[in-house]
Amino acid sequence: MAESRSSALTEVELFCDGACSGNPGPGGYGTILRCRGVEKELSGNAPETTNNRMELTAALEGLLHLTRPCRVTVTTDSQYLVKGMTEWLAGWQRNNWKNSKKEPVLNRDLWERLVQAAAPHQVTWQWVRGHAGHAENERCDALAREAIAQLRP
C-alpha cells in the first residue's frame, strides 16, 4: 500500500514568541524547532519594531529554517498570528490587503512572507495562553527578551 503524501511528511513542532520593550520599541523573537527529538533555538532582534511584528517574525524565521516540506504545528501565544493565518488572511487577500475597515492591513510585508514560507508545508496554527507555564512558550519568551537585551549598550 502506497503512503499518502501527508503521512510521509516529517513532523515538526515550531514554538514561537515575540516581545517588545515599549510598543513600538526594541523587539526580539524566540523560536524553538523540534523534530525527531532534536531541538534548535533561534532568536533575533530589531531596534525599532512592534510586538506584532516580532510575533510574525518568530514564526517566519522558524518556517524559513525548514529545508523540505514538513507537517508543522506552530504553537504561539499570539492570537494575532493564529487568527491572521486561519481567519483573516483569505479576506485580506480577496480585498486587496484591506482589513474589514477598508484600511491597509498592518504588517503586510511580513504576512506575505509568512504565507510564502508556509506554502510548502502542512501547517497547523495553535494558540496557547502566554505566561501560563507552557514550557516552550516560556523559553521562547526568554529567548526574545535575551535578544532585546543584546540591543542595550
Q: Point out the catalytic residue in the list 27, 62, 84, 141.
A: 141
Q: Is 55 known to sit in a ligand binding site?
A: yes
Q: Is 109 known to sit in a ligand binding site?
A: no
Q: Point out the catalytic residue in the list 27, 28, 30, 55.
A: 55
As a whole number of angstroms, the distance between CA 88 and CA 73 comes to: 19
Check if 112 is active-site: no
Check if 3 is active-site: no
Check if 77 is active-site: yes
Check if 109 is active-site: no
Q: Point out the catalytic residue in the list 61, 77, 121, 136.
A: 77
As a whole number of angstroms, the distance between CA 35 and CA 131 comes to: 24
Q: What is the DSSP string of 66-86?
A: --S-EEEEEEES-HHHHHIII
As a whole number of angstroms, the distance between CA 68 and CA 86 comes to: 22
Q: Which residues are annotated as a binding site for Mg(2+)?
A: 17, 55, 77, 141
Q: Give catalytic residues, as residue numbers.
A: 17-18, 55, 77, 131, 141
Q: Which residues are annotated as a binding site?
A: 17, 55, 77, 141
